[in-house]
A and B are shown apart, each in its own frame.
Chain A
Amino acid sequence: MTRPYVPWLLVVVALALAAVYLFPLYWMYVTSFKSGSEIFANPPTFWPREIDLSIYPNVWTRRTMHVFLWNSTLIAAGVTAITVIFGTGCAYVLARYRNVWVDIGLFSVLMLQVLPASVMVTPLFVAFNQFGLLNYPRTAVVLAAAAKAMPFFVVLVRATFMTVPRELEEAALVDGNSRVGAFFSIVLPLARNGILVCAILTFMSSFGEYIYSKSIIQSPALQPASVGLSGFLGPNSTDWNAIMAYSAIYVTPILAVFVLLQRRIVSGLTSGALK
């Protein structure tokens, strides 16, 4: 008779685990709702005594967040555009054939995927300096970050293209379509959802890009929100409710998109990440 209760017990345990795991996120929001004196209460309050939202407009204007977020958006959009335009075609070809050249191509893409940004930033900075690209720092960051984001995109989108039946494309070719025509009118529309999810993932991860921007962009008017956050964050920070409010403004749009698309993102990752 105990059998029917076991699954519900598991659900309770699962929810408890998720709650423990997501506690840092909760703590970010709760801290940002507290007043400047309450964050230093000892012991800390797990629910704010009174909700004080005045820090939000305060941080927004004092930290010129609209500038930072606009730069983040520009950089993320640029990275996503380059990644999608170059990466989609590459993934399509790598999915279409199976021979030694494809193996070599995949191997080099995987190799590029593993290079840490902290390794690449020194030579990129010196090279950009020589070519004068440092005068256009946001463009430089977009180029560098797109090269970082593309391998992962190619691996995931390739898995999507593998699910498109070859017969459909062949039928279009028999009906007199050119390769270009078949690609744009048959294969791309069928793979559209997968590409879209991967593009959104690329956008979200480059929205938080830090190391290239920190190293390459010197002028505060061109820096993204991650660099803006690092400006008042360090081992000795004290204005934690402001930092948490800044973080909350920064990540809430990302979290909203994630919750909306959670199912698709998870299935896209599981199909592509290991295959």
Chain B
Amino acid sequence: MRRFLASLRDGVGFDILLVGAAMVFLIAMAGLPLIYNVLMSFQQVDMFTLGSLIRPWAGFQNYIDVVREPAFWLVTKNTFIFVFFSMGGQFIIGFALALFFAQNFPGASTIRGLFLVSWVMPGLVVGAIWSWILAGDFGVLNTILKGLGIIQSNVFWKSDPAFSIWAVVIANIWLGLAFNMLLLSVGLAAIPRDLYEAAELDGANAFQRFWTITLPMMRSTIGAVLSLGLIGTLQQFDLFPAITEGGPANTSTVAQYWSWQMSFQLYDFAKGATISVMMLVLVLIASIIYVRSTRHEVRG
């Protein structure tokens, strides 16, 4: 017993205690619920069996029911639009800004830091602001676009089925842009300057330097940023209740919001769990890419 206590105070037991406390907490609050979620997706869960662990077995019935939902393919399509265009917009604009702020001018890092404001703001507040900017009749975005001559009449971003998912995409690009830019800036700063000088002496123009030096040197950073972008986009929830609530007629519902609606608005916990298990597969793919692309840095 004394040896055990001594090890806790002054040996490897101290390390195990520190890691173990965190791991027990994380397993209880994240690991077990995850397994429980998979279990629930194979059970019949309703108001009567909600309080018991052993419920009637449902097999793959929940999965079949979810796929047969009328909204299923629409939600799948929306999820892909949301993920693909949010990531694309965040990455391209973020990369352009990162390249711009990598130029040497006074105040570059301070002004760049201002962009991170969006990252600390509550998602729901960001959603509220964009909901107001995107409003159909009195929204300022329509006024600006009309002033620039891009559109002739008001676009009803939130209530037009053709635009509702794009309203959330626009807000999400704004929200995730700063983080993309910051990570890409870190990658850019790590490229040795003399590579560019050598290329310039050899007569490479700016486009060639970007294509043959910047992009290849940034490969692992880009992999990490894209997979983090996928993860972040799949985690994005707050914008939906704030801007469109998934409407009109599910045209802006994505998987994560649909799963929540099933559980907490229709109280169909089995379907909610089933949809989130389906999403989990996507998340796992993203995180494997992420871990692979940061592996050497993680070990470092």
Give the interface of A toward B (CB within 8 A): 6-8, 10-11, 13-15, 17-18, 21-22, 24-25, 27-28, 31, 39-44, 82, 86-87, 89-90, 92-94, 96-98, 103, 105-112, 114-127, 129-130, 143-144, 146-148, 150-151, 154, 178-180, 183, 201, 204-205, 207-211, 214-215, 226, 229-230, 233-235, 237, 240, 243-244, 247, 250-251, 254-255, 258, 262-263, 265-266, 269-270, 273-275
Interface of B with A (CB < 8 Å)? 9-11, 14-15, 17-19, 21-23, 25-26, 29-34, 36-37, 40, 45, 50-53, 97, 100-101, 103-118, 120-133, 135, 137-138, 140, 143, 147, 158-159, 174, 177, 182-183, 185-187, 221, 224, 231, 234-235, 237-238, 241-245, 247-248, 256-257, 259-260, 263-264, 269, 272-273, 276, 279-280, 283, 286-287, 290-291, 294, 297-300
**Could you tell me the distance between the alpha carbons of A144 and B29 in the complex, rounded to whole angstroms?**
6
Per the bound structure, the CA–CA distance linking A44 and B298 in Å amounts to 50
Chain B nearest CB from A14 CB (Å) reads 5
Whether B124 contacts A230 by the Cβ 8 Å rule is yes
* 22 residue pairs from A and B, CB less than 8 Å apart: A7-B104, A18-B115, A21-B177, A40-B137, A43-B143, A90-B23, A105-B19, A107-B291, A114-B287, A116-B276, A116-B283, A118-B237, A118-B260, A120-B276, A144-B29, A205-B120, A208-B122, A208-B123, A235-B158, A251-B122, A255-B120, A270-B182
CB neighbours of B108 from chain A (8 A): 10, 14
A-chain residues with CB within 8 Å of residue B224 when the two chains form the complex: 274
User: How far, in whole Å, are A243 and B133 apart by their CA atoms in the complex?
Assistant: 13
Known contacts A123-B40, A243-B132; is-contact A235 B244 (Cβ 8 Å)? yes
Whether A39 and B242, one on each chain, are in contact in the complex, defined by CB atoms closer than 8 angstroms, is no
Given the interface pairs A17-B97, A180-B9, A243-B132, the reply to whether A250 lies near B256 with Cβ below 8 Å is no
With CB as the reference atom, state the residue of chain B lying closest to A106: B298
Out of B9, B26, B107, B138, which one reaches A14, CB within 8 Å?
Answer: B107
Known A93-B19, A114-B286, A226-B238; 7 more pairs at CB < 8 Å? A6-B105, A21-B177, A42-B138, A90-B19, A123-B40, A230-B242, A251-B122
Query: Across the interface, do B238 and A109 meet the contact criterion of CB distance under 8 Å?
Result: no
Bound: A96/B14 CA distance, A: 12
**A247 near B128: Cβ-Cβ < 8 Å:** yes
- B138→A40 contact, CB < 8 A: yes
Given A106-B298, A230-B241, A119 and B259 contact (CB-CB distance below 8 Å) = yes
Contacts of A265 in B (CB 8 A): 113, 116, 120
- Most chain A CB atoms below 10 A, which of B9, B185, B264: B264
Residues of A with C-beta under 8 A to B121: 208, 251, 254-255
Q: Taking the nearest CB of chain B, how far is it from the CB of A200, in angstroms?
A: 9
Option from A31, A144, A211, A237 in Cβ contact (under 8 Å) with B238: A211
Q: Is the CB of A24 within 8 A of B21?
A: no
Closest CB of chain B to A76's CB: distance in Å? 11
How far, in angstroms, from A89 to B100 measured CA to CA in the complex? 39
* Cβ-defined partner of B182 (8 Å) among A7, A207, A266: A266
Which of B101, B129, B244 has a CB less than 8 Å from the CB of A25?
A: B129
Q: Are A126 and B132 in contact (CB under 8 A)?
A: no
**A107–B269 CA distance with the chains assembled, in angstroms:** 30
Contacts of A127 in B (CB 8 A): 32-33, 36
Residues of B within 8 A of A14 (CB): 100-101, 105, 107-108, 111-112
When the two chains form their complex, are residues B283 and A115 in contact, meaning their CB atoms are under 8 A apart?
yes
B242 touches A233 (CB 8 A): yes
- How distant is the Cα of A110 from the Cα of B121 in the complex, in angstroms? 23
Given A10-B105, A247-B128, A115–B34 Cβ distance below 8 Å? yes
CB distance from A31 to the nearest CB of B (A): 7
For residue B158, which residues in chain A have a CB less than 8 angstroms away from its CB? 235
- Cβ A215 vs Cβ B122 within 8 A: no
Give Cα A214 to B162, complex, Å.
29
In the assembled complex, the Cα of A25 lies from the Cα of B245 at a distance in Å of 22
Partner of B122, one of A6, A13, A110, A250: A250
Which residue on B lies nearest to A94, using beta carbons? Answer: B19
User: Bound complex: CA of A186 vs CA of B30, how far in Å?
Assistant: 32
Decide if A7 touches B105 in the complex (CB within 8 Å). Answer: yes
Chain B's closest residue to A240 (CB) is: B132
Chain A residue numbers with a CB within 8 Å of B103 are: 10
**Distance of B6 from chain A, by nearest CB (Å):** 9
B270 to A: closest C-beta gap in Å: 9
Nearest first, the 5 closest Cβ-Cβ pairs linking A and B are: A208-B122, A89-B18, A147-B29, A90-B22, A118-B256
A150 near B125 with CB under 8 A, answer: no
User: Given the complex of chains A and B, what is the CA–CA distance between A264 and B182 in angstroms?
Assistant: 14
Task: Evaluate whether A126 and B31 lie within 8 angstroms (CB atoms) in the complex, with A14-B105, A42-B138, A230-B124 already known.
Answer: no
Q: Is there an interface contact between A105 and B23, defined as CB atoms closer than 8 Å?
A: yes
User: A120 to B26, Cβ gap below 8 A?
Assistant: no
B129 touches which one: A15, A28, A180 (CB < 8 A)? A28
Q: Which residues of B contact A266 (CB under 8 A)?
A: 109, 112-113, 116, 182
